[in-house]
Amino acid sequence: MKEQKSQVDRLISRVRHNPVTALVLLLASIVIGFATFTDAVKKLVNLVSRSVQSEEARVELGKLSLSYSPDDFVNSARVGDLAAVKLFLAAGMDPNIKGSKFQSNTALIEAVHNGHTAVIKVLLEAKANVNLKNYGGSTALIEAVIKKDTETLSALVRAGATVETIDRAFVVAADRGNTDMLRMLWEKGIDRDKVGREALVSVAQGYRINDEEANRTVRFLLSLGVDVNARDDGYTALQRAARGGKSLVAKTLLDAGADINATCDCKESDRAYTPLMLATIYEYHDLFQLLLAKGADVNKRNDYDGRTVLMFAAYRDEATIRAVLGRSPRLNDRDNDGETALAIAQESLKEGHSSRGVVRALREAGAK
């Protein structure tokens, strides 16, 4: 404390006996005060300027018959009205606000969905959040994937996309069979294990693409190192391929080492159906023949009703039952209700779902 006081005393003494020092200190004080005043003035001027610009922008929107509302803002982005979007932003509109229409989309989602590149650029410059979801869970990244717009997708990723947002876009890209986007997103820090298996299992069934496109995508995912026997919601990719009748995908998976007799580790009613059972039930003949040729177990029972492939084949045509019989199945196994394949075939014949040829084939094979 005494040391600080002595320093102050020495400074005062120097000022008293040295006018130059006093002048320097005075000028320094004026500069500091002026700088502070200037900063405050700048802030005030900027605030007033923004207020004036905002009011002018709202007037211009009125001239365009646009109200200063979220719906009109989002709709302007939807139709690609760049001038209107700029006016809304100048008027103070939150770039991330959602409209009550269009599935609660943001302006950015609408702009991406409709391919308005200039509007997308302006919204990103205004710090639009690329991670926001609409009512259906879609994001701007997902819309870019659906539009197959790689350039926009890349810009959105750079604009702050989170790992979760990129993960979801990756799965959608797989479902759409877009390997270029998959390659780009794979390098952007996604959860490779989780999202890789989800994408593989999802695309294997191929809801949105044909067998060839799904097969190409599956090959690409496997080349990235995704485990061929990975599960998502308890299902393997081969089970999903069998459920969707994707024989090309199934062959690729089998050649890569997929478990041919895998069942679902889940609680759904078809949890214990092997790929061969599914191919038999849904009458995917090419897939059925492929799985038989690859050595699928014809005697495996599911734990839902205790039935084997032979029992499911008993509902089908003579060619199917004879193909199974050619693999030496246990003819007289019973399901959980105590019925054999022959009993099922006879009942199915009465109901008009089977044929006499099925019953005859079972009897000729020695079924009781």
- pLDDT value of position 50: 56
- pLDDT value of position 270: 56
Distance of CA 292 to the CA centre of its chain: 34
**Domain presence at residue 123:** no
- pLDDT value of position 329: 95
**Domain presence at residue 313:** yes
Split the chain (368 residues) into runs of 10 and give each run's mean pLDDT: 47 47 47 51 45 83 93 96 96 93 89 97 98 94 96 96 96 95 90 93 91 96 95 93 95 98 77 90 95 96 90 92 95 94 90 83 92
State which of 297, 321, 349 marks the end of a domain: 297
What would the pLDDT profile of 145-177 be if each residue is shown by its tens digit? Answer: 999 999 999 999 999 999 999 999 999 999 999
Mean pLDDT of the chain: 87
What would the pLDDT profile of 294-334 be if each residue is shown by its tens digit? Answer: 999 999 998 788 999 999 999 889 999 999 999 999 999 99
261 and 332 assigned to the same domain: no
Range of the domain at 274: 212-221+236-297
- pLDDT value of position 348: 84
Terminal alpha carbon distance of the chain: 109
State which of 282, 297, 312 marks the end of a domain: 297
- pLDDT value of position 269: 59
**Domain presence at residue 319:** yes
**Domain presence at residue 335:** yes
Rg of the chain in Å (alpha carbons): 35
Work out how many domains the chain is built from and give that number: 2
Q: Which of 263, 182, 264 has the alpha carbon at shortest distance from 223? A: 182
Reported as half-sphere exposure (CB side, CA atoms, 13 A), residue 181 has a value of 31
Please give the model's pTM, rounded to 2 decimal places.
0.80
